[in-house]
A and B are shown apart, each in its own frame.
Chain A
Amino acid sequence: MKAHQWFVEHREDFVVGTLERQELSAFRDHLERCPECREAIGEIERDLRWLPLGAAPVTVPPGMVRRLANGVLDRPRRNPWTWLVPAALAASTVGAAWYGLDQRRRATVLGRELAEVRAGLLERDGRLAAVLDTLGSIRTANRVLQAQLAIAGRRATMVVFETDRTQQWTVIVNGLPPAPAGERYGLWFLCEKGMRQGAALAGTSGTAVLVVAKPTDLGAVLAASVTLESERMVDGMPMAKREIGLIKM
Chain B
Amino acid sequence: MDGSPVRRLALTSATEGDLRARLCARDEQALVELIELTTPWLLGLVQGMLDDADEAEDVVAETFRAVWDTIDPAGPTGLVPLVFRIARNKAIDRLRRRKRQRNLATLWRAEADTVTAPAAGHGGWQIHGQVRHALEGLPEDQRTVIRLAYFSGLTQSEIAQQLGLPLGTVKTRLRLAYGRLRRALAPLRGWFE
Residue positions of A touching B, CB distance < 8 A: 9, 12-13, 16-21, 44-60, 64-73, 75, 167, 215-217
Contact = CB atoms under 8 A, between A and B. Distances in A.
Given A18-B174, A48-B182, A49-B78, A65 B153 contact: no
A57 B119 contact: yes
A51 B85 CA distance: 10
Interface string B20-49: 000000001001100110011101110110
A94 to B, nearest CB: 25
11 contacts: A17-B92, A18-B159, A45-B85, A49-B85, A53-B131, A56-B115, A58-B43, A64-B57, A69-B1, A69-B31, A69-B35
Contacts of B61: 67-68, 71-72
Contacts of B89: 17
User: Chain B interface mostly helix, strand, loop or mixed?
Assistant: helix
- The DSSP consensus for interface residues of chain A is helix
Interface string B115-127: 1111100101101
Contact of A19 (B40, B85, B156, B159): B156
Given A18-B149, A56-B119, A167-B167, A51 B57 contact: no
A188 B171 CA distance: 22
B102 interface: no
A216 B32 contact: no
B188 A71 contact: no
Contacts of A18: 149, 154-156, 159, 174
Interface residues of B, number: 71
Contacts of B115: 56
A192 to B, nearest CB: 12
Given A51-B185, A57-B40, A73 B35 contact: no
B189 interface: yes
A65 B6 contact: yes
B119 A12 contact: no
A4 to B, nearest CB: 17
A53 B117 CA distance: 13
B162 interface: no
Contact of B174 (A13, A68, A69): A13
A52 B84 contact: yes
Interface in B80-126: 81, 84-85, 87-89, 92, 96, 113-119, 122, 124-125
A165 B36 CA distance: 43
B19 interface: no
Contact of A52 (B41, B65, B134): B41
Contacts of B181: 47-48, 51
